[in-house]
Amino acid sequence: MKPIRIAPGARMSQAVVHGDIVWLSGQIGDAGDDLEGQTRSCLASVDALLQEAGSAKSHLIKMEIWLADLADFDAMNAIYEAWLDRENPPARATCEARVRSDGTLIEMVATAALV
């Protein structure tokens, strides 16, 4: 079975589907936005890519979240928890990391099962 690549580019695909699993590349928000705006943008991108791949947030297996500053953990979580399918929470890891040097404050990576 050949992998299906969604929005492939020169360096990476935004998502890859293989078997019953979809892997999303890191999603970032607009570097000009504040943390809340970037978080909402990331989650909107995750939603759109999951839908295009044939999945949904209720089928998330794992989320990885990288924050440029862990002081933003609570603010990010307030938005994330409002977005999350509370009956089907994925495994999750959150850490502080220098995401990019262009003002990006958050990056999210998701893995999900197909619907």
Q: What is the pLDDT along the chain (115 residues), one digit of tens a residue?
A: 899 999 999 999 999 999 999 999 999 988 889 999 999 999 999 999 999 999 999 999 999 999 999 999 999 999 999 999 999 999 999 999 987 778 899 999 999 999 8
Contacts of 100 (CB under 8 A, 6+ apart): 28, 31, 107
Closest CA to 109 of 36, 34, 5, 14: 14
| Cut 0.85: pTM above it | yes
**Residue type at 47?**
D
- What is the reported pLDDT for 102? 83
Quote the tokens at residue 35: 């943390």
CATH 3.30.1330.40 fits 4-113, yes or no: yes
Burial bucket for residue 40 (CB in 10 Å: 0-12, 13-18, 19+): middle
